[in-house]
Amino acid sequence: MISFEHGGFVLLGFHLLFLLVILLDQSTKYFVQRFLPLNGGITVLPGVLSLTYINNPGAAFGILPYKTVLLVVLTFLLFFLVFLFRNRIPRQPSFLRWGLALGLGGATGNLIDRLRFGSVIDFIDLRFWPMKNFPIFNIADLAISCGVLLILWYLRKQEQTTGDEEKAIEQGG
């Protein structure tokens, strides 16, 4: 049972965002598999966006191709770390929690594909400049990227705050 007195409401939001990412990722991949031919697709907005169904043997945006075992191990390591620090999550600022939930949800979506198919289903194909040669990706990749950006933004803000406090101490204030 969730205790709303001890961060339960915060954890509920964390878990809902985590599950929403997985649901969106897996449902879009289901429809892509069902309605698009492998290595084929459709144009959604000419010169801007196509849906192109490919199997990606690597990580987000095609990095680390054919390193499936490494990627599965890294994802389980991420799960372990989140489990290990689970009691600290509710006390963290919202940007850090959102980033973690997005990243973990995206990693889970891609992990499901790797365990089921040995590769990841990608389909979002941007065709406009400067994205013309950008790798095809999926909702999980997008969630991971947004999660990492939120975490980096939070860490940068922490660094600035710590630097401002140190300057104040040095100046005798």
For residues 11 and 149, give the distance between their C-alpha atoms in angstroms, rounded to a whole number. 21
Strand, helix or coil for residue 55? strand
164 catalytic, yes or no?
no
- What would the two tokens of residue 50 be? 């196509």
Q: How far apart are the first and last CA of the chain?
A: 46
Give residue 16's Cα distance to chain centre.
Answer: 14
Which one, of 158, 58, 168, lies nearest residue 114 by Cα?
58
Say which amino acid occupies 159.
E
Element spanning 54, H or E: strand 49-56
Classify the phi-psi angles of 172: left when phi > 0, otherwise alpha if psi is within -120 to 50, otherwise beta.
left
125 catalytic, yes or no?
no
Catalytic residue among 25, 113, 125, 141: 141
Catalytic residue among 25, 113, 122, 125: 122
**What residues act catalytically?**
122, 141
